[in-house]
Each structure stands twice: as C-alpha cells, then as structure tokens.
Amino acid sequence: MSAQHPQHPLPVVSLGLGPIGLRLASRIAAQSGVDLVAGVDVDTERTGPDLGLLIDRPELSIPIYATLDQVAQTGGVVIQATVSDSVIAAEQMLQAIALGWNVVSTSEQLMFPAPHDAELIARVDAAARAAGVSVIASGINPGFLMDSLPLMLTAACVSVDHVHVKRVVDTDQRRVQLQEKAGVGLSRSEFEARRTAGRLGHVGLRQSAGLLAAGLGWTIDEYVETLEPVIADRPTDTGLGKVPEGGVLGQHQTFEAHADGRVVITYDLEMSAGAASVDHIHIDGDPTISQSITNGVNGDIGTIAVISNLVPVVAAAPPGFLTMADISPLHSRR
Amino acid sequence: MSAQHPQHPLPVVSLGLGPIGLRLASRIAAQSGVDLVAGVDVDTERTGPDLGLLIDRPELSIPIYATLDQVAQTGGVVIQATVSDSVIAAEQMLQAIALGWNVVSTSEQLMFPAPHDAELIARVDAAARAAGVSVIASGINPGFLMDSLPLMLTAACVSVDHVHVKRVVDTDQRRVQLQEKAGVGLSRSEFEARRTAGRLGHVGLRQSAGLLAAGLGWTIDEYVETLEPVIADRPTDTGLGKVPEGGVLGQHQTFEAHADGRVVITYDLEMSAGAASVDHIHIDGDPTISQSITNGVNGDIGTIAVISNLVPVVAAAPPGFLTMADISPLHSRR
C-alpha cells in the first residue's frame, strides 16, 4: 500500500505516553477517519491492554507495548511524542519507517533540522522514500505559530523585507511541566544557574527561523539569542504558588536572524505567570501585514491539534522526510 | 517534461492584459526563477512585440499574441486573468492544457466550482491529468483571506463549530474599476436597479464558503445572502468624487452558510469609500481563535502576490484541477 493511498480508517499508534502523548492518544481516539490501534512506551509498567483506561475510554481495548514491532497492524501513522533530541528521535523514526509506518513527531529539533544533522536526516529521508512513507515533525511552536503561519501569510506579499513574530504565553494557563520549564518560582540565582547549564529556554526558535528563512529564500549567516528572567515587581500568585517580589515569573527569549547583512527575522517569546497572552506577526514588505491573535493560541491544545490534524495529511503526502513548508508550500517568492 | 520537475527558469505567459493582467505580468517580469515569455490578449490592437513597453520594461522584448497557440515555448505556467465566468475560463484552461501549460487563474467562479459546473471541471481535471499539468484558480479573495487562511488557522483547533470572517475594504485605496463595482457614487435608486440586475456584489463568498466547508467536513444545505448599500450620512469625498448625503459610498454583503441545521460560516464584506480597512477571522472551536489584520490586506497587490506566488507551486504540484485546499492541506479534521 503506497503512502498516497492511505488505508481507511487509518491505523494510528501513539508512541510515547507522557502528558502530551496521552492527550494526543485521547484526541486520536475521538477523531474520525483514524483508528487508535496501540500505544507504545518504554516504561514497561504501562504495558498491557489499558490505553483506553489512561484516556478515559475504558470501552476501548487498546494494548500498550514496550516496542513498536509488537504492534500487529502496520501501514498507518505513528505519532511520536517522546523526545526533542534529534538523534534519538530520528533513530526511533528509522525503526517506525522500517516497519512501514508514516511518522508525525513532536520533536522540536526535527521540525527543521540543524545543519549538523544533515547526514542523519538524509538517512531518514532515504529510508522513508524506500519504504514509501513520509515523516514530519511539528507542533504549535515550533511548527505553526512562529513559522508555517507567518510563512503562509507572506503569500499575500510580492516582497518581504523582515518578519517579526511575538508570542506571549501566560504560563498559568499551561501544564505544570511547562510552568517549571519556564522557570516560574525560581530565585534569580537559580535562574542564572539553570540558564548557564542550558536547562532553560524554549527549544525551537532556531528551527522556526530556519523554516521561515528557507521558504523566503534567505541564507542565515548569523543569529543572536538572548534569554532573561521575567522578575516579579510585587508578590504574585502563580500556578506554582506565590512568587515573592524579585523572584522569577518566567522567561523572555529573543532571537535575531541575519541574512545579506541585515536582520530578516526577529522573534520575541515571553512565557511567564500572569502575562497577557497574544500572538503577533508583523511582516514588513509589499504589502506590510500586521496580524494579532487575541489571547494567543493555547500551546498544549494547539500542539494536540496540529499533530493530530497532520495525521491524514502526512499519510497522503509524497514519501520522504518533510518539513511544514512541503505540507503547505504557498508563501512569498522572490 | 512532467509537471513535478518544472523547467528552470519556468516559462510564464500572461493571458489577459487588463489592469490586473498587466500588473501580474509586471510582477512576473521581476520575479526570480520565472521567465515571462509572452503576453496573450484577444484585443488584437495589443498584439506585437511590446509587452515590455506596457509594463515599463522596454528593455525586455516580449511578444503579445492574439492566441496562446502562437507562443513558441511551452511547458510552463499560463497566468489567466481574463474572466470570472466559469464556463469561459474553463474553456480557455482546456486550450492551455492541450498545449502543455499549467494554469493559475484569477477566475473567482473556479476557485471552488459550483455543483452545476461539476461536469465541466471533471473534463478540465481529466485533460490536465492526461497532459501531466495542474490548474488552479485563486486570488486574495476568493482564494486566501476568507477561505485558505482561516482554513489553515483551524489547524490549531481540535474542533471547529463556526467560522466568521469579516473583511472591510476602503475602496479609496483600490483601483477605479473596483470602486465602480462597489457602487461608489450611485444614488440609492441606481444601486437598487443594479442590484436587481445582478450587476453589484463581490463574486466569491459562495466559493470561499465551499472551500472552507469542504475542508472542515461540512455539507452546506442552505445559504442566505444579503447585499445593501452603504449610505453617506454627510457629503463625502471619495476616489470617484464627492458623494452627497444619502448617496451610496459602497456595499455591504453578508453570507451565512448552514450545515447540520445550524450556521457554520458567516461572512461579512464591506467595500466602501473611507471605511476602516480590516481583516478579521474568528473561529469558534477548541480553542477559539480570534485574529485581526490591522488595516487589512490591499486586494489588488494581494491578488498579484497570491497568483504570482502560486506559479512555482502549481508547476510542481500533482496534475489535475486543484483547489487551494490541495495546495495547503493542513486544517482541522473532525
């Protein structure tokens, strides 16, 4: 069965049953045209015929296996919600491809792979083409709000000089893991220590910029990143308890990409407790387009949506390792 | 040469050299990766080696022919900016297809063909597949702002209940033909007479709703349209001169599509002199997304952009009659 003529309903396997993996499984179990056939998780305490119980659908008898090769069916889509790391995620993709599965992944690093992963991705691409399946990594961010969506908006432009995307996320509206990742409740010195250890900061701005630049024909020759704490100017109640004055409410990241000797992409990402959520895209060009999404898009439900909505698209896409620009190729051309 | 492996640079012919056709030709002449090889227009007063002169590029020697079969080259993309009418536009497409050309058309009626054109479109589709070329109709509206863009935005939703798109266009910012089409400067009775004769109103709301509904899995069983004049409450200067109090500044169109016994799509389109331009998309769903484009997108430059940006996409697309949902298939799935 070729990737262009997917089965109906389309078999789907949930690989990785953490918080996002379980929410994805729950969504897939409710989605039409797809059939959640199994869960796979390395945590062997989870294996058994009980994925239905974990997603409040006890009437469904869906087995959980420790490895993908135990799944009886094949030829559909594996949803991979395991790791951000490109090398580990790509190795898992290769296993899925070898078993005849398409893959939709949440791996931030694979949304638009870094140059040093080129060889790895060439291997995944070749394997996918040989198997007649397609693989892609995406999510709400990276994958949509700061890259595919502004890229598609440029379709209304005959020229683009600069793209500025600003995303502000009120962490109180997000899952606890994300609040912790943003540094909510840390002291300034704890924030500094974690930042130095590389344990803070959203992963994906570089990937988003890579996708946007490739689509718009820019070769990035330099980028500048900053990561600063957002400091409470009074005692503040947050989803992780009260933060004292001078404590950390979250983080503010900026990213500038340079091409042809000028700044072509600017990202501004604030994730902090009590912030006024918004998504804003400003395209300087002909014409200039300035777009805002009031209250922003919730990142948890948004990621579930983008990944699950990609499932039928990827099953029908041409084989190979794809990026979001392959799925949605309309954008400004020089 | 198959449609999937387009020539580089891609030969492009401008079919129809009215105001939009000439602006398209001008853009194509400046675009990289494409080569404007000829113009074609039924107006034989225009034929001759002078398209370069008409687009202020006298250094380019680009012939204008009366018919497409006179163009020496083949295998690229014909930009069709001739008529809205589906039957005439489809017949022109069939000629282009027979000569081995892909087509990007501005025909509003073909952006998403009406059911009564199904047989005609099946013929175009079969011919395009046989010739290994692809054809599509698009533009800023219909084609982008009120259909493809909201459809792509729904990719961030796991469910969609209702889509409301509001577009307000200040006709003073648009070409004279559009100001006249919107009824600027008419008396109320002239507006009534033209409306009765079906000579007013933007063509495309039904097509936009068709694309959106098909993407979101809704079968429209009823639609309700209104078309009213926007009346000057004081003497008002417009791009077509002063309009007296009680005169017509433009038009306001609404459109409601019903499916499953409820309203699923609402369009609101005002085109009038001095109106505050804006593009607004509100998606009721999980999550609800409310997006605004400040000052809106200028429709003339926007159409030039969407059509010209589609040229390389269509040349690389799978053969057949395509819609914007084929070009950009990511959206919410039930």
* pLDDT, tens only, B45-92: 777 778 999 999 999 989 999 999 999 988 999 999 999 999 999 999
Helix, coil or strand: residue B33: coil
Give the model's confidence band at A3: pLDDT under 50 very low, under 70 low, under 90 confident, else very high. Answer: very low
**pLDDT number for residue B6:** 76
Distance between CA atoms of residues B266 and B224, nearest Å: 10
| CB-based contact A325:B313 (threshold 8 Å) | no
| pTM for this predicted structure | 0.95
| CB-based contact B112:B292 (threshold 8 Å) | no
pLDDT at A62 over 60: yes
Lowest-pLDDT range of A3-17, A256-270, B210-224, B233-247: A3-17
**pLDDT number for residue B73:** 85
Give the model's confidence band at A4: pLDDT under 50 very low, under 70 low, under 90 confident, else very high. Answer: low
pLDDT at A76 over 70: yes
What H or E segment, with its residue span, contains residue B310? helix B299-316
**pLDDT number for residue B5:** 65
| pLDDT 10s digits, B299-322 | 999 999 999 999 999 999 999 999
Å between B184 CA and nearest CA of chain A: 24
- Across residues A37-51, what is the average pLDDT? 86
Q: Which residues of chain A lie closer than 8 angstroms to B333, CB-CB?
A: 31-33, 308-309, 311-312
| pLDDT 10s digits, A182-209 | 999 999 999 999 999 988 988 899 999 9
Q: Does A42 touch chain B (CB under 8 A)?
A: no
Q: State both tokens at B46.
A: 């225009």
Q: Which residues of chain B lie closer than 8 angstroms to A331, CB-CB?
A: 309
pLDDT at A5 over 80: no
Cβ atoms within 10 Å of A44's Cβ, excluding its own: 10
CB contact residues (below 8 A), chain B span 103-162, against chain A? 140, 144-145, 148-149, 152-158
pLDDT at A18 over 90: yes
**pLDDT number for residue A333:** 86
Q: State both tokens at A250.
A: 């979250």
pLDDT at B295 over 80: yes
Nearest CA-CA partner of A265 in A198, A208, A191: A208
Q: How would you classify the pairing of strands A222-231 and A248-259?
A: antiparallel
Q: Does B25 touch chain A (CB under 8 A)?
A: no
Give the model's confidence band at B3: pLDDT under 50 very low, under 70 low, under 90 confident, else very high. Answer: very low
Distance between CA atoms of residues A247 and A181, nearest Å: 15
E strand spans, B81-211: 102-105, 134-137, 159-170
Q: Does A21 touch chain B (CB under 8 A)?
A: no
Sort B203 into a burial class: Cβ within 10 Å, 0-12 / 13-18 / 19+: middle
Helix, coil or strand: residue A88: helix
Say yes or no for a CB contact (<8 Å) between B316 and A329: yes
Q: Which residue of B has its CA nearest to A294?
A: B290
Say yes or no for a CB contact (<8 Å) between B144 and A158: no
- Across residues B149-155, what is the average pLDDT? 97
Distance between CA atoms of residues A329 and B4, nearest Å: 14
Distance between CA atoms of residues B20 and B24, nearest Å: 6
ipTM of the complex: 0.95
Sort A98 into a burial class: Cβ within 10 Å, 0-12 / 13-18 / 19+: middle
H runs (alpha helix) in chain A = 19-30, 51-54, 86-98, 108-111, 118-131, 148-153, 176-181, 188-196, 205-216, 299-316, 324-327
